[in-house]
Each structure stands twice: as structure tokens, then as C-alpha cells.
Amino acid sequence: FLFFFVPSIFFIEFFRRDKNYWAAVSAGLLLGVATLFRPITQLFPLVILVWLIFVGFRHRQIKQFLVGGILILLAYGMTVAPWMIRNKLIFNHFKLSPLGGIQLYLVNAPHFLEYQAKRQGREREYYVELLDRLEDDLGITINYNDWTYESTRLMEFKYEDHLTKKFFEIIRVNPALYTFLHLKRMIVF
């Protein structure tokens, strides 16, 4: 992942500095390959586009930066499109990965709940409790002795919508707090 992600950031910087469109295309291609390894960066190109538009306004060169951002998105899209088409054909989902649901429910939601508990003076972990709820909701049994298999099974597309729905039920209590926590974690990333 990092073998492709880090050079993509350098190419983005080369584009920003030199306005070289080949650097933008290279950044998009490398970012696409990195995303195929770890889909956590699948929305990162949109962040880059917004950032490049901001930089374009700041330097009064909006057209150059907008074109560069679009080239990054196109190169990225060409790189990840075959995988998305494959997922549509096999799983009937035109998405890069079903990891969004499990990431939200088993990573972000426990972090949010633990932070809320800590603010109330209680130290508590929620990961196992959320897994227990998931067993009840989906009518499945999780074999904790074979967690590698089970965690992979929960990453299937058929569970993503349910996991995402349950995540939003948890954070709707205080969406502003969740947004603050998520932004704080993103800045560190």
C-alpha cells in the first residue's frame, strides 16, 4: 500500500508545484493501485480535488488546478474501474469494497461509544458488545476461535447495508461529536 500511496502524494505535490499534467495522471494511477491494496483511501481523490480547487483559487489558476484534479480522478477511476465492474458482475454492487460498513460499525462506532463513556467518567470497551448485537440482528454465530475467517465473512457485501444502518443509529445520538472525533482521527492520519 505505502509503496504506491507515498509516491502518489509526491506526484500530487509535483503537479501542484510545476503544473505538470503527467504528474497528475501518475498520482491518480498510483493512488488507484494503492486503493486496490487498501480501500481505506477510496474517497481520498475527492479530498485531493477539493484541495486542488482551493489551491487554484488561492493562486488564481483555477483552470489548471481543476484540470489536474480531474486528471487525477480519471486516472484513479480507470485504475479501480475493473475491480468495481467485477464486483457488480459477481456481487451486484458497483462499489470498490464492502469495507465501509464494517469499518463504520466495528471501528468508528466503538471509538465513538468509548469516547462518550470516558466523558461520563467510565472506561468501557464496546467492540464485543457490538459483535453480540450483530449476532442477534443477523441471526449468525460468530466463532471467536477462528476470528480471521469470521471477520472476513462479516466483510461481505450482503452485510454492509445493515452494518452502515446500525452505525448511523449509534451516532445519531450526537452526530456533531462523532464528526469532531472523526475529523480529529483523520488529521492524525
Whether 189 has a pLDDT exceeding 70, the answer reads no
Rounded Cα–Cα distance for residues 38 and 99 (Å): 10
Q: What angle do CA 183, 186, 187 make, to 5 degrees?
A: 90
CA 100 to chain centre: 7
The single-letter code of the amino acid at 39 is: P
What number of other Cβ atoms are within 10 A of residue 167's Cβ? 23
Give the residue carrying C-alpha cell 467492540: 127
Tell me what pLDDT residue 62 has: 84
The C-alpha cell of 117 is what? 463513556
Tell me what pLDDT residue 106 has: 83
Tell me what pLDDT residue 138 has: 84
Tell me what pLDDT residue 89 has: 93
**Distance in Å from the first CA to the final CA of the chain:** 15
Tell me what pLDDT residue 27 has: 95
Rounded Cα–Cα distance for residues 116 and 144 (Å): 27
- 71-85, 101-115, 122-136: which is most confident: 71-85
Tell me what pLDDT residue 17 has: 83
Whether 151 has a pLDDT exceeding 80, the answer reads no
* Averaged pLDDT of the chain: 86
Tell me what pLDDT residue 121 has: 84
Rounded Cα–Cα distance for residues 159 and 167 (Å): 12
Whether 46 has a pLDDT exceeding 70, the answer reads yes
How does pLDDT run across 165-179, given as a tens digit for each residue?
999 998 888 888 888
Tell me what pLDDT residue 132 has: 84
How does pLDDT run across 71-89, given as a tens digit for each residue?
999 999 999 999 999 989 9
Q: What is the dihedral of CA 136, 90, 167, 165, to 10 degrees?
A: -80
Whether 6 has a pLDDT exceeding 70, the answer reads yes
Tell me what pLDDT residue 145 has: 81
What number of other Cβ atoms are within 10 A of residue 50's Cβ? 11
